[in-house]
A and B are shown apart, each in its own frame.
Chain A
Amino acid sequence: MSIAWYLVVSALIFCIGAGGVLVRRNPLVILLCLELMLNATNLALIAFARMHGNSDGQIFALIIMVVAACEVTVGLGLIVAIFRRRLPIDVDELRELQG
């Protein structure tokens, strides 16, 4: 399979994730959609690493996985804190920081 196929799949997954971030209102599902976008980026990076025959892109993908794990940890901590304060778990209701 040529590299372009992988890049098209990556673009499709990225767009689905972006649409989920825009449409869904449960912060848990928004975090999941962010994971989708990060994974689409990983796929593109690894496809380019294969294209050039250079494994630097794979290192980049590995670092992105670390950053995604950190983002998940902090995001889930925020959701647990929201739940403990008995606030609604809905990003449309949590608008106190909105200007």
Chain B
Amino acid sequence: MSAVVFFIAAIGAIAGAIGVVALRNPFYSVLALVGHLLSLAALFLLLRAEFIAAAQVVVYAGAVMVLYLFVVSYIGGGAHQLTPGGSNLRLVAGGAVLALFAELAIAVLGSGLKAIDSDGAPYVSGFGSPAAIGESLLTKFLFPFEVASLLLLVAAVGAVVLARRRKGTTLDDAERDAAHYITPRSLFSGTMAEAVGAIRDPAEPPVGVTDENERSGW
């Protein structure tokens, strides 16, 4: 039974990985990665890592992939067609990857570890459970745990600083000329669309009072 589950999950994981690399549209690549992560979570369950599998599904396949999808739809996934790359690069990359796989396979299968051909150590109740992981994190690995939280803070601040708006360099600044889009009308009028940032059509005829003195002042 475990062999069947293993082969299904392993084939799913490898197919998802190939899909990430081979698909043209980044949107589909992200979806293939979600499938890959779910298959990998099944493999983690087979290895008795219950908490890691749950974290993989919830945090990785859930939260992080949603972040990816937001960015892909922000920059417009399939809109940017890249010029075709050189075939030399593909040949060299394929050769390098094959050499890397041969090396890893030799390292794994020729390692001389006797336990590598077994099913692993005898199962102890509670291995990989949230209680065991939490106890390790708060006793033996307290320092890495705290450093990880600091790293997350640094990454969040760094992302905000990197992606903030800089004056004059963004897509919208050129068109945001106040006199260009505010048509004369009374001070306290406005639409709901404008309240959330929509720009009024300059060709639209002015509404209400158009007296020069009562125009809004901005």
- Interface residues of chain A, those whose CB is within 8 Å of chain B, are 1-9, 11-20, 22-26, 28-29, 31-33, 35-36, 39, 42-43, 46-47, 49-56, 58-59, 61-63, 65-74, 76-81, 83-86, 88-90, 92
Kindly state whether residue B181 has any CB partner on chain A within 8 Å.
no
Q: Which residue from chain B places its CB closest to the CB of A69 in the assembled complex?
A: B64
Residue among B29, B67, B97 making CB contact with A76, cutoff 8 Å: B67
Tell me if A79 and B136 are in contact (CB < 8 A).
Answer: no
Bound: A76/B48 CA distance, A: 33
Residue among A23, A51, A67, A71 making CB contact with B89, cutoff 8 Å: A23
Contacts of A8 in B (CB 8 A): 105, 108-109
8 A Cβ contacts from B163-208 to A? 163, 165-166, 169-171
Q: Which residue from chain B places its CB closest to the CB of A20 in the assembled complex?
A: B21
Q: Which residue from chain A places its CB closest to the CB of B75 in the assembled complex?
A: A83
Contacts of B3 in A (CB 8 A): 1
Top 8 nearest A-B pairs (CB, nearest first) are: A53-B121, A70-B155, A77-B159, A20-B21, A77-B162, A22-B93, A11-B104, A19-B97
Contacts of B128 in A (CB 8 A): 49, 55, 58
Tell me if B36 and A36 are in contact (CB < 8 A).
Answer: yes
Kindly state whether residue B211 has any CB partner on chain A within 8 Å.
no
Tell me if A22 and B89 are in contact (CB < 8 A).
Answer: yes
Q: Which residue from chain B places its CB closest to the CB of A11 in the assembled complex?
A: B104
Contacts of B101 in A (CB 8 A): 11-12, 15
Do A15 and B74 contact each other (CB < 8 Å), given the known contacts A39-B40, A84-B165, A86-B171? no
Kindly state whether residue B14 has any CB partner on chain A within 8 Å.
yes
Bound: A42/B44 CA distance, A: 9
Contacts of A31 in B (CB 8 A): 68
Tell me if B49 and A18 are in contact (CB < 8 A).
Answer: no
Do A50 and B120 contact each other (CB < 8 Å), given the known contacts A29-B20, A66-B151, A79-B75? yes
Tell me if B155 and A69 are in contact (CB < 8 A).
Answer: yes
Tell me if A23 and B155 are in contact (CB < 8 A).
Answer: no
Tell me if A1 and B26 are in contact (CB < 8 A).
Answer: no
Do A3 and B104 contact each other (CB < 8 Å), given the known contacts A53-B124, A59-B137, A81-B163? no
8 A Cβ contacts from B25-64 to A? 26, 29-30, 33, 36-37, 40, 43-44, 46-49, 51-52, 55-56, 59-60, 64
Bound: A51/B113 CA distance, A: 10
